[in-house]
Amino acid sequence: METLTRAQLVEAIYSEVGLSRTESAALLESVLSRMSDALGAGETVKVSAFGTFAVRQKAQRIGRNPKTGVEVPITARKVLTFRASQVLKARINGDPLPRDRD
């Protein structure tokens, strides 16, 4: 499985949009920075036809060390979640795009 890197995204912006490589990198950094700032502020980020990023608060709970069986407290924390859109799911599975429901 291959990984898409930041540099590859910059190159794709450069070739598709026609901005310079420097401008393409600045655009990508700007978008990622805005998304990070919004998520850090507790906002949800929805990208149409792609998916929704959200931050969820998880409460403190008791976990168990699987090796020793000893109970260990797991502290409260925030977690980032992603929910893929139906369009993205269909594209990944090679299905035709879902129709709008009336």
Domain positions in the chain are: 1-41, 44-96
Structure confidence by residue, pLDDT tens digits, 22-78: 999 999 999 999 999 999 999 999 999 999 999 999 999 999 999 999 999 999 999
Cα dihedral sign, 17-23-24-28: negative
Which pLDDT value is given to residue 1?
81
The single residue listed with the structure tokens 């799911």 is 89
Confidence (pTM)? 0.78
Domain 44-96 is found in CATH 1.20.120.920: no
d(CA 18, CA 2): 25
